[in-house]
Structure formats: C-alpha cells, structure tokens
C-alpha cells in the first residue's frame, strides 16, 4: 500500500485505467453481446497503453536521478523509484487477466445460449 501512496497523479490515473475493461468484462460475462465485446477490446488496448505510459515516466525519473547524483550502484532511492514505476503494469495486466477470464465466461454462455435456441 505504501507504493500506492507514493505514486504521482499521472501514475495513479494510468494505473486505474485497468478497472474500466474489468468492469466491461464483468458486464460482458453477465450479458454477452457483440457491442460489449468490442468495448472490452478497445478498453483493453487503452489499458495496455496506459500501463506502458505509466511505466516510462518512472524509468525516466529514475535515470534522471542517477544522472544528476551519479550514485555508485543501485541506491535505495533508485530501487524504490523503479519499483513504483512497475505498479502500473502490474495492476493493469492483472485487471486484464481477470477481464479476459470474464470474456471467456461470456463467450461460453453466449455459445450455450445459441446452441439452446437452435434446438
């Protein structure tokens, strides 16, 4: 939890973009339609971009810190900065994993509904 408190506003925003496809994935699992699946796909892509976009500034800041201070080796401050920059992809890709598991359930339910309606 300390890492979340240390994140900047942009890192927090890019981290929580992962909640959007997760919500859409749950909705798709419950009421599967083609429009909802399209929404999940586009929100998933936005989450990937946000995760990468949230990681890069952390690495830039860490490298800038090293360049200005010229520390010898990996200092705790640099290690913490790099760790903070990895929160965004960890959270985003975790949300995407659950999202696509929900899509799998929705696809399974949709196929079952189509099969039962044919009979």
Which of 7-16, 44-53, 89-98, 100-109 is least confident?
7-16
Residue pair 59/40 in contact (Cβ under 8 Å)? The answer is no
Domain ranges of the chain: 14-118
Residue-level pLDDT at 119: 60
Average pLDDT rounded to a whole number, residues 15-23 = 92
* pLDDT tens digit sequence for 40-98: 999 999 999 999 988 888 888 888 888 888 777 778 888 888 888 888 899 999 999 99
Question: Residue 73 CB: number of other CB atoms within 10 A?
Answer: 5
Tell me the C-alpha distance between 7 and 54, whole Å: 10
């Amino acid at each position: 939890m300390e890492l979340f408190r240390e994140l900047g506003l942009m890192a927090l925003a890019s981290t929580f973009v992962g909640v959007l496809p997760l919500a859409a994935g749950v909705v798709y699992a419950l009421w599967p339609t083609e429009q909802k699946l399209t929404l999940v796909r586009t929100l998933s892509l936005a989450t990937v971009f946000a995760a990468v976009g949230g990681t890069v500034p952390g690495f830039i800041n860490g490298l800038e810190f090293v360049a200005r201070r010229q520390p010898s080796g990996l200092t705790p401050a640099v290690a913490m900065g790099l760790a903070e920059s990895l929160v965004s992809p960890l959270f985003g890709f975790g949300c995407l994993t659950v999202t696509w598991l929900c899509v799998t359930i929705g696809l399974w339910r949709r196929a079952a509904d189509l099969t039962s309606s044919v009979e």
